[in-house]
Amino acid sequence: MRLVEHFIGGQKFSGTSSRRGDIFDPNSGEIQAQVSLASAEDIAHAVTVAKSALASWATTNPQKRARVMFEFKRLIEDNMDELAHILSSEHGKVIADSKGDVQRGIDVVEFACGIPHLQKGAYTEGAGPGIDVYSMRQPLGVVAGITPFNFPAMIPCWMAAIAIACGNTFILKPSEKDPSVPMRLAELLMEAGAPAGVLNCVNGDKTAVDAILEHPDIKAVSFVGSSDIAQHVYVKGAAHGKRIQAMGGAKNHGIIMPDCNMEQAVKDIVGAAYGSAGERCMALPVAVTVGQKTGDEFAERMLDAAQNLTVGVSTDPQAHYGPVVSAAHKAKIENYIQMGVDEGAELKLDGRGHSLQGYEQGFFVGPTLFDHVKPDMRSYQDEIFGPVLQIVRADTLEEAALLPSNHQYGNGVAIFTSNGRAAREFASQVNVGMVGVNVPIPVPVSYHSFGGWKRSAFGDTNQHGTDGVRFWTKIKTVTQRWPDGDVGDQAFIIPTMS
């Protein structure tokens, strides 16, 4: 059986641990490979290798680092089909979604190509009599990223591309559920000209995560995953003196106003709610309709749209979405569907028990639609992370806006309206980090930054964009004055009180 090993120092590394994890094909439900699970000693080895590569990479001029990123971008583009098929085979996304995952990673690599400009400091001439002040952004050192299963191409690029472009060396701990694409990306970066040890992939579980958080030579950690684990990473990493950014879960809302283009809103939301089987932290699993007439029309149209979705294997070009990532996650989603029924929500479309001929053991969940969901229901309060859309009804925009503002998560929100003033006020006042106006999944482009509020994010900076450059660098400020004349042997004098 195929074994996915670690990638350390520019080559595969078997590791010291005999522990293995199973990699499934979500379409068939069968085990297709195994992955090595790192020990703390394996993490320590990766850190040693990354440290040995640090000095020369950190002092490589930014133009040369940018050229590596340009070549890395080209290689990812050239290998798009291969990467997308690997991704679909382990995650379950349809090929089109997998290509989108890879493309959003390419976008961030493209942003990182501008590092000579992005990493520039500031200069003030004449800050005092004969005194100039300037600042510089320097790499932190050995840094790490811990990435989730749902975007195994995009999120590693969010972290590693910018960190490495800034002159750091990087340790990536991808999800053990679908590790092959991150491994392939590491190989492509070496092919692009990055020295061995600049990017190292170490596969693992909680043992590897804790080893990363505890290792004294890892200066910063970026994380994306569930909120409970994000909080653990943030607290434990900070306790060990690290710079931490930890992105958590979400429960994004779409506000459906009476004056919206209903046909477009339904089209947008059916893709945002059910695309990629809902396994996206920027999916839109809650639709809040304003007014009874709006609610009735939206529920009717959405039911028709959801019933016409095609669930298929990842390689089916006609499928709108494929299986979820694992049997355990399928069971979790179906348990939440039953919870919604038990709580009294109206189940209009039930996706449980969905099966495909020839793929009866696959991890498929059909599109599910609830109406008349109430804010006190746990199925509303929790992140389901599956192809489940819940309709909550409100009488006014003010009532509707309170729902995302008061929710424990604050990743993204959208409003569908033709009223510019209402949209502007909503965008300004809603207590959520990313807002879409007639845009169902408001993920910022690579040169802006990604990050939610409340329990959707722990830390002070967002992912990628200029916030990414800030996170992966430290500022050094120099205040200088050159004395008149020749100082002779007194090349450096420390002033004293006398």
How large is the greatest C-alpha to C-alpha distance in the chain, in angstroms?
89
Residue entry with tokens 């009488």: 395
Q: Which two tokens stand for residue 381?
A: 């309060």
Which candidate, 179, 202, 151, places its Cα nearest to that of 2?
179
Question: What is the H or E stretch that residue 261 is in?
Answer: none
- Taking the mean position of all CA atoms in its chain, how far away is CA 41? 27
Q: Which two tokens stand for residue 203?
A: 């596969």
* Cα gap 446→459, rounded to integer Å: 19
**Helix or strand or coil: residue 215?**
coil
* Cα gap 459→47, rounded to integer Å: 24
Residue type (1 letter), 290: V
- C-beta of residue 79 within 8 angstroms of C-beta of residue 98: no
Q: Which two tokens stand for residue 293?
A: 């007439």
Residue entry with tokens 């340790």: 171
157: buried, middle or exposed (CB in 10 Å: 19+, 13-18, 0-12)?
A: buried
* Cα gap 445→111, rounded to integer Å: 10
Question: What is the H or E stretch that residue 139 is in?
Answer: strand 131-139
* Cα gap 85→265, rounded to integer Å: 31
**Which residues are designated catalytic?**
281
Task: Write the DSSP assignment of 355-415 as a string of letters.
Answer: --TT-TTS-----EEEES--TT-HHHHS---SSEEEEEEESSHHHHHHHHHHSSEESEEEE
